């Protein structure tokens, strides 16, 4: 879990800092290790703010983001990791998804 702060205006998302993970492997592990209820709760909190989040993050080059923006970016990337699960499959054990242990991200 990260202890980084979020940018001004995004403080209410601090509840979800456990989703601010810097690598794809960590984000996948978080998805696999979370209940569908936890995933849905995170999705419902973050998704409505994505346009605002993207607008905020676009002011920085990805490689030069300040730490608070990087934390917000990592949370947004976690949303990307769970979006298909929430929007299409609705079940973490769905047979149409690749088994997580077979998918090895290259960082």
Nearest CA to 74 out of 30, 33, 36, 105 is that of 30
Please give the pLDDT value at position 25.
87
Q: What string of DSSP letters covers 11-48?
A: GGGGGGGGG--SSHHHHHHHHHTS-HHHHHHHHHHHGG
Please give the pLDDT value at position 85.
82
Within 10 angstroms of residue 13's Cβ, the number of other Cβ atoms is: 20
Please give the pLDDT value at position 29.
87
For the chain, give every domain's residue range.
21-102
- Overall pTM surpassing 0.85 (yes/no): no
- pLDDT tens digit sequence for 48-96: 999 999 999 999 999 999 999 999 999 999 999 899 888 876 665 554 5
In the structure, what pLDDT confidence band is assigned to residue 2 with cuts at 50, 70 and 90?
Answer: very low
Nearest CA to 42 out of 22, 15, 23 is that of 15
Token pair of 98, please? Answer: 């690749």
């Amino acid at each position: 879990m990260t202890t980084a702060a979020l940018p001004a205006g995004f403080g209410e998302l601090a509840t979800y800092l456990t989703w601010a993970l810097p690598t794809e492997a960590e984000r996948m592990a978080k998805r696999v290790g979370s209940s569908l209820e936890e995933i849905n709760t995170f999705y419902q909190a973050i998704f409505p703010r994505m346009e605002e989040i993207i607008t905020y993050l676009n002011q920085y080059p990805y490689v030069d983001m300040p730490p608070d923006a990087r934390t917000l970016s990592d949370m947004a990337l976690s949303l990307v990791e769970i979006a298909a699960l929430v929007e299409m499959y609705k079940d973490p054990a769905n047979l149409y998804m690749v088994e997580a242990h077979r998918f090895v991200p290259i960082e």
